[in-house]
Amino acid sequence: MKKIGLAALVLCALILMSDPLSASKNQSISPEAAVQKLIEGNNRYAIGKPERPHQNQDRRNEVAQGQSPFAIIVTCSDSRVPPEILFDQGLGDLFIIRTAGNVIDDSALGSIEYAAEHLGVQLILVLGHERCGAVDATVKGGEAPGHIKELVKYIEPAVKKSREKKGGDLLENSIHENVLMTVEKIIESRPILNELYEKKKIKAVGAYYDLDSGTVQFLEEKKEKEEKKEDIVIDK
Ligand SMILES: [Zn+2]
């Protein structure tokens, strides 16, 4: 059984990697347009008026032979953070990588590379979220069991950096820092992603999902707002 499972997996991977229709059918949109689509979808979801696009049989038929997602989403495995729902998207729209704490190992980087290089997706969004259990466990410290140790290892640098920061909540700061560090890791990943980034063929941004309000806030936006706030204080 195991052998059959493995063979099926390898076959799937080969089909995925060699699918000519995926690339030829690609109609990738700019990172700015992709962000706009995500914002609009999240607005619809947050106010309770989702359109649930691309979830019918027609769409299934449309994308069955090839995909051209408009965004890569790297987010947490947390059951409360499903990207298609909170961005109000459907089949074939988002290429998603999920791990607890939205950490990325080599397999995750390989998945991002596939979507960016082969499918031509230009936007990579790293989405952290409120009350992230993986980050919380890292903040609390102690010996993590089994492979959870691996996750903690990836999140620890963000927590360490946040401990040095003055003000704010340690968990919140760590969640934000963990997102930003993942963004950095993606754009610095050599050779493929860094090269695409340098050629301005991809853009990576961080965002934060609020479990209570259902809204996604882009971290660049937030940083700018915080800087503006500081300016106001200085002006006084
Ligand atoms: Zn989480």
Cα-to-centroid distance, 154 and ligand 1 (Å):
13
Cα-to-centroid distance, 8 and ligand 1 (Å):
31
Kind of pairing between the strands at 123-129 and 71-75:
parallel
Cβ atoms of residues 205 and 218 within 8 Å:
yes
Percent of the chain with pLDDT over 90: 78
- Strand-by-strand arrangement of the 123-129 sheet: 94-98, 71-75, 123-129, 203-209, 216-218
Residue 21 predicted with pLDDT over 60: no
Cα-to-centroid distance, 128 and ligand 1 (Å):
7
Cα-to-centroid distance, 199 and ligand 1 (Å):
32
Assess if residue 3 is contained within a domain: no
Cα-to-centroid distance, 163 and ligand 1 (Å):
19
Assess if residue 2 is contained within a domain: no
- Give the domain range for residue 200: 20-235
CATH of the domain at 135: 3.40.1050.10
pLDDT in tens, 222-234: 555 555 555 555 4
Residue 14 predicted with pLDDT over 90: no
Cα-to-centroid distance, 129 and ligand 1 (Å):
6
Q: How much is the pTM?
A: 0.84
Cα-to-centroid distance, 81 and ligand 1 (Å):
8
Count CB atoms within 10 A of the CB of residue 50: 17
Residue 97 predicted with pLDDT over 60: yes
Assess if residue 12 is contained within a domain: no
Assess if residue 196 is contained within a domain: yes
Assess if residue 141 is contained within a domain: yes
Cα-to-centroid distance, 208 and ligand 1 (Å):
11
pLDDT in tens, 181-203: 999 999 999 999 999 999 999 99
Cα-to-centroid distance, 131 and ligand 1 (Å):
7
pLDDT in tens, 120-164: 999 999 999 999 999 999 999 989 999 999 999 999 999 999 999
Cα-to-centroid distance, 99 and ligand 1 (Å):
8
Q: Which band of pLDDT confidence, cut at 50, 70 and 90, is reported for residue 166? A: confident
Residue 7 predicted with pLDDT over 90: no
How many domains does the chain divide into?
1
Cβ partners under 8 Å of residue 104, min gap 6: 74, 97, 112, 154, 182, 185, 186
Residue 235 predicted with pLDDT over 60: no
Assess if residue 55 is contained within a domain: yes
> What is the Cα gyration radius of the chain?
19
